[in-house]
Chains A and B, each alone.
Chain A
Amino acid sequence: MLALDANSDKKLSKDEVTDERLQSLFERADTNKDGSLTKAELTAIYKKESANLSQRRGGPGGGPGGPGGRGPRGNAQGHPGGPPGRPGEVLPEPVRERLQLTEGQKKKLDALQADVDRRLESILEEEQMATLVQMQSEGPPGGPGFGPPGGGGPGGFGPPPGGPGGPGGFGQRPGRPGENGNPPQRPAAEE
């Protein structure tokens, strides 16, 4: 499974990543600085460094808002730029920004996140993990109509799925106002 994992311990050590072009990635991904990468750490950096990219992929023109944030925690006004939550996300990016974390705090938080990711992944089977992620991207069962339509809330602020609150706003978010001249569109009523 781990193509580069020579000793099959499900981690990538620095020795196993021999391609020097990947050293920078290795160092960025190794948030707990233990000299080895777990799949959780790789997943975390991929998401972290893709966050803005994914938002952009919502596409020009904005498009309709998704099924919306779940319940009361969803921010009905939407929060352009707020990424949707993901399983076990401790503090989503907009929240981190708002809190104006120090560099030291960011590092600690990254380490905590890596730890959470790792532990969550150790609890769940790979298939379950995939299902969880799929559920997130598809919205809650029952689909549209589950929450107020409109831009997804900041989401992900609550406990992992299963609890109240939880990730919201998996829909396509409205485009940033003014980005392309089109105001964010309200979605057609989905109920």
Chain B
Amino acid sequence: MAAPLFVPNRRLFLGALGASFFTTRGLFAEHLFGTPRMTEGPFYPDQLPLDQDNDLIIISDSLTPAVGEITNLTGRILDAKGQPLKNALVEIWQCDANQVYLHTSDSKPKAKQQDKNFQGYGKFETASTGEYKFRTIKPVPYPGRPAPHIHFKVSQNGHELITTQLMIRGHAGNLQDGVFAGITDLVDRELCQTDFKKVSDSKTGELAAKWDVVIGRTPDERDMGEHS
């Protein structure tokens, strides 16, 4: 029986913890764990929208907002020492509340289903604080991807630093999800999830999600064994 099992094997048993808390990764208190890299997936927009701002809820000056649970998504882009990265371009994309991506191979066949008021893609460039900010919807599952997620790509001076995905902490779909399953390290799993919490003073029930992205390993390592 070669298939992985409940406690798949010794390598994974030790590796799952070993690679994180319990082995030397040259980690010291001032070092942060790098955010795990993940597949870009097939739906980075093939045609970027006219409106590419950081508010994905309203397209241009439309009066109709997107369908979905409005989420204020914030965080910082940091290096492994915790230093903020400035002029880092943060791009996000995700499917709309009706499970349609802003990509012609998805939105064409699903034209009727698509929420035309959702921007689907947005970008933001960090200042010296490394902070980014988006207004978007809480991600929903997509057919074949039970884990709701938001795609992230961070670049600086035209060089890509990381491509990854943000998932909802503790969402049941994560455990059914092939991409999530590809992350075998306890800490790595933690680092690709965050809470989507109700904003206490929001009358409209808006959510807030905070997620820092730490650029760890060199970008050249991407595309190595992280397909799904």
Contact = CB atoms under 8 A, between A and B. Distances in A.
Most buried by A among B21, B181, B187: B21
A55 B22 CA distance: 25
A103 interface: no
B92 interface: no
B228 to A, nearest CB: 13
A19 B216 CA distance: 14
Interface string A120-138: 0000000000110110111
A42 B190 contact: no
B13 A57 contact: no
Contacts of B195: 24
A18 interface: yes
A57 B181 contact: yes
Most buried by B among A19, A67, A83, A172: A19
Given A24-B190, A57-B181, A42 B21 contact: yes
B3 A4 contact: no
A21 B8 contact: no
Contacts of B23: 1, 3
B17 A42 contact: yes
Given A53-B181, A54-B8, A58-B3, A42 B186 contact: yes
B169 interface: yes
Contact of B3 (A39, A84, A172): A172
Contacts of A130: 10, 13-14
Interface residues of A, number: 48
Interface string A1-40: 1111010000010001011011011000000000001010
A63 B2 CA distance: 11
22 contacts: A1-B23, A3-B22, A3-B27, A4-B21, A16-B29, A22-B190, A37-B21, A46-B17, A53-B175, A53-B181, A54-B4, A54-B7, A59-B3, A84-B5, A86-B6, A130-B13, A130-B14, A133-B10, A139-B1, A170-B6, A171-B1, A172-B3
Interface of A: 1-4, 6, 12, 16, 18-19, 21-22, 24-25, 37, 39, 42-43, 45-47, 49-59, 63, 66-67, 83-84, 86, 130-131, 133-134, 136-139, 170-172
Given A46-B17, A52-B175, A137-B6, 13 more contacts: A3-B21, A4-B27, A18-B29, A37-B21, A47-B7, A57-B4, A58-B3, A58-B5, A83-B6, A86-B6, A133-B10, A136-B6, A172-B1
Interface of B: 1, 3-10, 13-14, 16-17, 21-25, 27, 29, 32-33, 169, 174-176, 180-181, 186-187, 189-191, 195, 212
